[in-house]
Structures are given as C-alpha cells and as structure tokens.
Copies of this chain bind each other. A is one copy, B any other.
Amino acid sequence: MMIDCGEGTQLAMRRMRLKFVRLNHIFISHLHGDHVLGLPGLLSTMALQGKTGRVTIHTFPEGIEILQNVVNFFCREPGYEIVFEPVSPEGGLVYEDNALTVTAFPLYHRVPCVGYIFREKEKLRHLDGDMVKYLDIPVSKLHGIKMGEDYTTPDGVVIPNSRITHDADPSVSYAYCSDTQYDERVAKAVAGVDTVFHEATYIDADRVKARGRGHSTASEAATVALKAGARQLIIGHYSKSYVSEDQHLAEASAIFPNTLLANEGLMVDLL
C-alpha cells in the first residue's frame, strides 16, 4: 500500500529496492500535482515489471476522470487491472480486509484533502500448545478459543480462556495527515492512533505563512500528536526554504518528545 504518489516516486522505490509488483493500493490525499503526478509513470513501470492482478487507486471523484484519461493514454495494455475507487472528502471507510481497515478523514488545506488511518484488526490469541495437547482439545474448538472463548471438557469442566491462551500480538495503527493546517478536529480524528505522521511544513517563526498556505508548523504537528495521545510522531513535508530540519525537530520535540524527522528512505517500526 502507498499513500500519495508524487513525481519521482518510482525512482525512490528503485533506490529502496521495493518491489513494484507487490503494490496493490494507492491512497491519494488530494489532487495537487506533488501528490499524484508520479502515478502514470509508476503504473507504466509496474506494467514493464510484469505486475499482474489489480491496482486500486483511491481518490476523489474529480481526480478519477483526469487520472483515468492520463493513465489510459500513457499506460496502454498494462497487463494488470487499474481500478479507481472514489473517496469522499468527508471521509469514511475506504478499505477493509481480514486484518486491516483504512479510513479517510477530512484535513484542512486549500483544496479538499483527506488523511488516512490504517488500523490492524484485533488479532487472535496464541494457543498454549502444551495445554491444548494435555486437554486434547478438538481442532474444531481451536478457532473459538483463539477468539477468546473458554473451553468446556467432555466432563463439563470449564477451563477459562486465560489458562489455555497467551495474549494476542498488539494491533498497530498509523495515521497520515498531509497537507493540512493545524486543526483540533485532526487531533480528534486520529485520537488513539499509535503512530501519527503529520506535516510540518514550517517552523514557529513562519506560523503566519503556514496558516496562509494551509500548512502546519512543527509545533502544531506535535500538539496534534499530544492531544491525540499518540505514541510516536513522524513529521515531514518540509518547505524547501529551510537548509536543515533541526529547528523543526527541536520545536516539535519540546511539545512531543517522541518525534522523528521523516526523510526519503526512512523506515519506521509501528509500535
């Protein structure tokens, strides 16, 4: 899965040795060129690399028409299916499978824009292999026990779930918030998410510029993470007018200590 696809995305994927053919879903936040113009080239390269199956691009209805035309023109006979799925600027569930949901929520930029939250579903509990063997539990019961059910022996003895299972692996969640100005509604939307990416285009000294252009400062990104109760914050989308991002990191960390600077190629373990 990928969020947004600016010009040069395929070059970045090459440098990181990510496999083009494994990409199945692309979620677009908004229809500014720096978030979508890498799409036709990426989809063409995927065709050259022998992608099969389907790629689904999730974007606003007005983007579907223009992107569909470009893709049809520059990526003829791709050899795999390219599907566009409409996303509402008001947000809502955009993807669900057995393990994961992806929901969109409104951001506050110069044009309609959404963020995305990726949430792993609750995972199954781990069986205690020794207990399962000792009690000789029938296979048909195992899925229910992994879901948390107790086990009743043929003699009618109830074995509480906690004696035959261990805790499930934690389910992780990730929210992507770019591009947006600071807004408390963003903090509400991502409340309880473990890892939050929030744009931090500017530093405090350029707060007025940030507001005028529909962007945030690093402190504002940190305030969103703090109010949302996040466990880690990743900031990024820096204005090209800064030589380094040290000041962004200092200002964000003062409010939310567990802040990481995003830069090309960064890999993050979700907590």
How far is B133's CA from A98's CA once the two chains are assembled, in angstroms? 92
Residues of chain B within 8 A of A41, CB atoms compared? 7, 33-34, 37
A244 interface residue (CB < 8 Å to B): no
A8-58 interface (Cβ within 8 A of B): 8, 10-11, 31-34, 36-38, 40-41, 44
Residue of A69, A74, A75 with most partner-chain B CB within 10 A: A74
How far is B34's CA from A11's CA once the two chains are assembled, in angstroms? 12
A11 CB, min distance to chain B CBs, angstroms: 6
Residues of chain B within 8 A of A38, CB atoms compared? 7
Given the known A-B contacts A8-B7, A11-B8, are A33 and B74 also in contact in the complex, defined by CB atoms under 8 Å?
A: yes
A73 interface residue (CB < 8 Å to B): yes
Q: How many residues of A contact B (CB 8 A)?
A: 20
Residue of A7, A40, A69 with most partner-chain B CB within 10 A: A7
Residues of chain B within 8 A of A69, CB atoms compared? 66, 69
Are B8 and A74 in touch, CB under 8 angstroms? no
A70 interface residue (CB < 8 Å to B): yes
How far is B32's CA from A11's CA once the two chains are assembled, in angstroms? 18
How far is B264's CA from A11's CA once the two chains are assembled, in angstroms? 14
How far is B36's CA from A32's CA once the two chains are assembled, in angstroms? 18
Residue of A11, A44, A70, A75 with most partner-chain B CB within 10 A: A70
Closest 4 CB pairs of A and B: A33-B74, A7-B41, A66-B73, A37-B41
Q: List 11 A-B contacts (CB under 8 A).
A: A7-B7, A7-B8, A8-B8, A8-B11, A33-B41, A34-B44, A37-B37, A37-B40, A37-B41, A66-B70, A69-B69
